[in-house]
Amino acid sequence: MEPLDQELDESEIELPTEPMLLNVGPAHPAMHGTVRCVMELSGESIQKVDVQVGYLHRGFEKMCERGTWTQIFPYVDRTNYVSPMLCNVGFALACEKMLGVTVPERCQWYRMALGELARMSDHLTCDGAMAMELGAFTPFLWMIKGRDMIWDLMEEETGARMTHSFGRVGGMAAPPTAGFKENARAVSEQILKIIEEVERLLLGNRIFLDRLENVGIISQEDALSLGWTGPCLRATGLPYDVRKASPYLKYDEVDFDVPVGSTSDCFDRFMVRIEEMKQSARIIEQCIARMPDSGPVNIDDPRIILPPKDEVYNTIEGTIQHFKIVMEGLKLPAGEVYAYTEGGNGEYGFYLVSDGSGTPWRVRIRPPCFYVTSGLERVITGRMMADVVPCFGSLNMIGGECDR
């Protein structure tokens, strides 16, 4: 009988040593959305990886160049479909910056409250999916339950769960519903409870911690040079948050902290998102407290805002106003603008060029995920195959943002 501790080196079995090429994606259950990773594996460790985005084939920046500025809202909805309200408001703010107008106070608080709810939805999805992919199915179900509460609230407000197309240049499609404040407060409280439960379930779990801690580390310099922003950058310890760095809407008037990480690993990225949800809840509370219950939501400018429908049907002035805005589009003054907000995954910017006609000349979107995903290669090279799952999950790639 052969000794059990026979060393492999002495055996006659030759293991192949050349690296193996493995193609993961573009449509693969391990991938979030359609992205393709071509990996060169040596055993289980990743020697080289080539991350390829762009499998949605949409060309939405080009699509923006026909039609009107208002018609872009459905497109930006679909860049980050987990937090479309942030995209909607970001685009509306860019157009308003070009027009030099500011929406009424009620609308500003409303936009902020909806935006922070959308941010919660984004982070719940990311952290929940991350846990699920590491085998923790229960937190995923709880967090998705929380996200569904937000989506129900969004449906109540906008009529759509996911892609709302609710923003408008100069305001919102509709004023807040009567029950908005009550609902938003209830949802935010519920989500805080869910987060607490999730923390209790996960943060003492050895397996969960071992899979995340010291995995997927990236240096602050690398993150900055890749153009990272948002939770992934803050996990490196840099407190860059557009809401603090260059406040828009009423963010300079609300009280909130910017959580940062220390080791820049997957666990930090997970925890930054958890903490941010708690901060969002703080912001929502303040928005609800300060949002007036009545007053205009849209600015009062017939060149920008559509008239009420009964005026369109019954007066020639309303008809003309409607006609000019719908058929020719509202006219942004000739020029260019870069406007940026804090999206779910970082700095969400719009570079708009207008020639003064009703049709956009160029709409360039700076989606945070495009830059974050470009760092995936650096994060997972040299790691084990199994680490791809938490690393990729913690970067929170949104396919719609990565598509050009």
Residues at the site binding other proteins, with contacts judged by CB under 8 A: 302-303, 311, 313-321, 323-324, 327-328
In angstroms, give the least distance from the CB of 356 to other proteins: 14
Q: Which is nearer to other proteins, 137 or 323 (CB)?
A: 323
Indicate the DSSP class of residue 166.
-
Q: How far is CA 188 from the centre of its chain?
A: 18
Q: Which is nearer to other proteins, 32 or 322 (CB)?
A: 322
In angstroms, give the least distance from the CB of 359 to other proteins: 12
Residue 44, φ and ψ in degrees, nearest 5:
-105, -5
Look up residue 393 and give its amino acid: G
Looking up tokens 């760092």 gives 375
Q: How many CB atoms lie within 10 A of CB 1?
A: 3
In angstroms, give the least distance from the CB of 317 to other proteins: 5
Look up residue 305 and give its amino acid: I
Q: Reduced to 3 states, what is the DSSP secondary structure of residue 167? A: strand
Q: Which is nearer to other proteins, 13 or 316 (CB)?
A: 316
Q: Which is nearer to other proteins, 121 or 354 (CB)?
A: 354
In angstroms, give the least distance from the CB of 321 to other proteins: 7
Cα separation, 27 vs 43, whole angstroms: 24
Question: What token pair was written down for 345?
Answer: 């995954």
Cα separation, 285 vs 269, whole angstroms: 25
In angstroms, give the least distance from the CB of 67 to other proteins: 12
Q: Reduced to 3 states, what is the DSSP secondary structure of residue 128? A: helix
Question: What token pair was written down for 54?
Answer: 């762009």
Q: Which is nearer to other proteins, 193 or 303 (CB)?
A: 303
Q: Which is nearer to other proteins, 79 or 321 (CB)?
A: 321
* Order of strands across the sheet that contains 360-366: 335-343, 346-354, 360-366
In angstroms, give the least distance from the CB of 310 to other proteins: 12
Question: What token pair was written down for 273?
Answer: 């998102």
Cα separation, 356 vs 296, whole angstroms: 28
In angstroms, give the least distance from the CB of 316 to other proteins: 5
Q: Which is nearer to other proteins, 26 or 302 (CB)?
A: 302
Cα separation, 386 vs 380, whole angstroms: 10
- Judging by beta carbons within 10 Å of its beta carbon (0-12, 13-18, 19+), is residue 15 exposed, middle or buried? exposed
